[in-house]
């Protein structure tokens, strides 16, 4: 096959490309230039997709003897990921930019261009597996190394995208094995640290970045009854479940700490309340997709597991499609789930689909008769 290997400059994508070469595929490496600040250098393990990463990817491609190109996707990344991130926060939601990047850049823009150029598939260094069911339809599954599993952030992939995706590291038992393989191959990135944090906010100051992009305006902090109990310097700085930084002037009646329950951007208000109110009994989203074949009868509630964070644990739940939404009810309430997050639905190790959470129902609200 002719495979386009997305090479980030890290050890995972370098080893993934090397394995494809060993397997006899025609491999071409491509690094995505996503930043408009081309001179930016990463600091330790913060950030990614910098000029330093591009040079690391080129060195790896040269060692493997494969063609290498840098594709400029900075404008599309700014629109589909960076601007989307700011807009979601401005709307009072908590987005996951890695999900948007995988959805709109790596497996939409890149795959579209790759197919147009005659490539059969796009490969990345993600830890996830693609398997085929009895009918030959492709399914997305968790990686063998659950501690490194990245199937959650790939939950946005559709059946068509899975048909042209390759994940050579999916069955690898551990990241240590990948680093050892890289060292044995002479790849200089063998011990390069993993990137973390939001790549376009490499200093980690999300609050400051949002203040510049969204703006900060003082507003009220309310309790669940609507009583004003404090002031804030900008609603965008708060996320559901947050406890620190509230600076409330009125103590709670029982003396217990309060947590952010809701952010209301239209009125510039932040609602706080007890920890118990963070327990979510139902979540739903109208923007949902299936990673492969959908359930035979999605309108009837089916047993599954749901995961709402990249490094979170899956929990038993039921799900169904109703009123144009994917509605998910965990068996036990989930803590601190916010609109804008992604809920990924699993059947065993298989990723069935996902939704961007539009609304949640707290356990105490669900217990109140209609």
pLDDT at 39 over 80: no
- Sheet containing 228-232: give its strands across: 228-232, 219-222, 269-273, 259-264
pLDDT at 370 over 60: no
Does domain 2-125+168-185 fall under CATH 3.40.50.620? My reply is yes
Q: Span 216-273: which CATH code?
A: 2.30.30.280
Highest mean pLDDT among 36-40, 102-106, 178-182: 178-182
Between the alpha carbon of residue 353 and those of residues 193, 302, 363, the distances in Å are 31, 13, 24
Q: What is the mean pLDDT of residues 166-192?
A: 94
Per the prediction, the chain carries an average pLDDT of 89
Q: What is the mean pLDDT of residues 128-150?
A: 91
Identical fold for domains 216-273 and 279-366, yes or no, is no
pLDDT at 43 over 70: no
List pLDDT tens digits, range 87-110.
888 888 888 888 888 888 988 889
pLDDT at 367 over 70: no
Minimal CA–CA distance to 355: which of 321, 311, 332? 321
Report how far residue 106's alpha carbon sits from residue 109's, in angstroms, rounded to the nearest whole number. Answer: 6
Domain boundaries, the chain: 2-125+168-185, 216-273, 279-366
pLDDT attached to residue 368: 45
Q: Is 48 an annotated catalytic residue?
A: no
Given 98, 199, 304, 355, the catalytic residue:
199
Q: What is the mean pLDDT of residues 38-54?
A: 60
Q: Span 279-366: which CATH code?
A: 2.40.30.10
pLDDT at 179 over 70: yes
Q: Is 304 an annotated catalytic residue?
A: no
pLDDT attached to residue 37: 59
Contact 120, 2 (CB under 8 A): yes
Given 48, 49, 101, 304, the catalytic residue:
101
Confidence of residue 51 (pLDDT cuts 50, 70, 90): confident
DSSP 10: S
**Residues in contact with 23: Cβ distance below 8 Å, sequence separation at least 6, in sequence order:** none
């Amino acid at each position: 096959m002719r495979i386009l290997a997305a090479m980030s400059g890290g050890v995972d994508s370098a080893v993934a490309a090397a394995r494809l070469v060993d397997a006899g595929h025609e491999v071409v490496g491509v690094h995505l230039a996503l930043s408009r600040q081309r001179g930016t250098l990463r600091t330790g393990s913060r950030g990614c997709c910098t000029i330093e990463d591009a040079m690391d990817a080129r060195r790896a491609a040269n060692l493997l003897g494969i063609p290498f190109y840098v594709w400029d996707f900075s404008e599309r990344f700014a629109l589909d990921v960076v601007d989307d991130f700011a807009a979601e926060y401005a709307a009072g939601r908590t987005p996951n930019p890695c999900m948007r990047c995988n959805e709109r850049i790596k497996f939409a823009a890149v795959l579209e261009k790759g197919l147009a150029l005659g490539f059969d598939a796009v490969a990345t260094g993600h830890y996830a597996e693609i398997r085929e069911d009895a009918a030959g339809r492709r399914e997305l599954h968790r990686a063998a190394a659950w501690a490194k599993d990245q199937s959650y952030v790939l939950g946005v992939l559709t059946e068509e995208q899975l048909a042209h995706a390759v994940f050579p590291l999916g069955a690898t038992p551990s990241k240590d094995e990948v680093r050892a393989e890289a060292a044995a191959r002479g790849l200089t990135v063998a011990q390069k640290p993993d990137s973390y944090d939001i790549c376009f906010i490499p200093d980690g100051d999300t609050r400051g970045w949002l203040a510049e992009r969204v703006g900060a305006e003082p507003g009220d902090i309310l309790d669940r009854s609507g009583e004003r109990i404090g002031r804030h310097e900008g609603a965008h700085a708060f996320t559901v479940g947050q406890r620190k930084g509230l600076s409330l002037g009125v103590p709670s009646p029982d003396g217990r700490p309060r947590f952010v329950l809701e952010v209301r951007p239209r009125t510039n208000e932040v609602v706080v309340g007890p920890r118990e109110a963070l327990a979510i009994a139902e979540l739903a989203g109208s923007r949902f997709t299936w990673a492969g074949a959908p359930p035979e009868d999605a309108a009837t509630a089916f047993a599954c597991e749901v995961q709402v964070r990249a490094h979170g644990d899956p929990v038993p739940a039921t799900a169904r499609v109703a009123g144009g939404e994917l509605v998910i009810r965990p068996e036990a309430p989930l803590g601190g789930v916010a609109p804008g997050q992604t809920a990924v639905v699993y059947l065993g190790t298989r990723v069935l689909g996902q939704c961007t959470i539009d609304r949640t129902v707290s356990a105490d609200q669900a217990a109140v008769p209609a």
